[in-house]
Structure 1
Amino acid sequence: MGRKNKQRFSSITKDRDEIQTQIEKADEAGKPIVFEYDDELPGGGQFYAIETGQHFTDAKALADHKKGRYFKKRAKELKEEKYTQGSAEWASGMTKEKLPPAHPVK
């Protein structure tokens, strides 16, 4: 893989519903999400933020990340329901938009 492709794909994060599914599976199993030691992941894959889906080099970097704005915003989003009726209607194009009349009556 070339350098440009690696840079392009390195910033891709998981979607909210993927992370919520991962958290639900971990809760059902009753076990925390643990990774085997992997030299290719930062910190060997031992320092992972579930909410953002990112690996960090050490515990300090992970703790600093958890104090940040992005982590807090993502954690708040994950507390909401995965799918709502409103989002389903929006995705299917069933929303009713309030548009001004094309020819106002005088």
Structure 2
Amino acid sequence: MGNGPLAKTKGRRNKIKKYKRSIKLGRRPKDRDEIQTQIEKAEEAGKPIAFEYDDELPGGGQYYAIETGQHFTDAKALADHKKSRYFKKRAKELKEEKYTQESAEIYSGMTKEKLPPAHPVESNL
């Protein structure tokens, strides 16, 4: 192997912040609300979500899990994925409402946490 800065050594990119961020965000799955809007648009149009044959996508883009937003190489891989814990958890999340008033208040910081009293008053009757 070669010497110097271009040598392929283990961990050579471990301090490069741009590289770390691109790897982390490149593999990030779609968010729940993105998938829910995609499903809603498909229901409004009255057509199922389908892709044209594309050589760049795994399996030509024909085997797609809507709930997770992933493409698979063949029908067996898709069927195995649909049995997985990740798929079932994501499908359950998608059945919930997209946004609720309660979640909006929590994220905006409008709610106050109700704590029990620090020194409860004991009554002796």
Secondary structure, in 3 states, of the residue corresponding to 2:98?
A: coil
- Structure 1 partner of 2:30: 14
- Structure 2 partner of 1:94: 110
Partners of 2:82 and 2:34 lie apart in 1 by 20
Q: Deviations over 1:66-95 (max 9, x none)?
A: 011000010001000000011100111112
Structural RMSD (CA): 2.1
- Measured after TM superposition, the shift of residue 98 of structure 1 is 2.9
Question: Which deviates more, 31-40 or 58-67?
Answer: 31-40
Secondary structure, in 3 states, of the residue corresponding to 1:55?
A: strand
- Structure 1 partner of 2:85: 69
Partners of 1:45 and 1:6 lie apart in 2 by 24
Instruction: Report how many aligned residue pairs link the two structures.
Output: 103
TM-score (norm 2): 0.72
Highest CA radius of gyration, 1 or 2?
Answer: 2
Equivalent of residue 46 in structure 2, options 6, 17, 30: 30
Structure 2 unmatched ranges of 5 or more: 1-18
Within a 5 Å distance, the mapping from 1:74-85 to structure 2 comes to 74-85=90-101
- Structure 1 partner of 2:59: 43
- Measured after TM superposition, the shift of residue 5 of structure 1 is 7.0
The alpha-carbon distance between structure 1 residues 89 and 63, as it changes in their structure 2 partners (threshold 3 A), is same
TM-score (norm 1): 0.84
Structure 1 unmatched ranges of 5 or more: none
Greater helix percent: which structure? 1
Q: Give percent identity, aligned residues only.
A: 81
Q: Which of structures 1 and 2 has the larger relative contact order (alpha carbons within 8 angstroms, sep 6+)?
A: 1
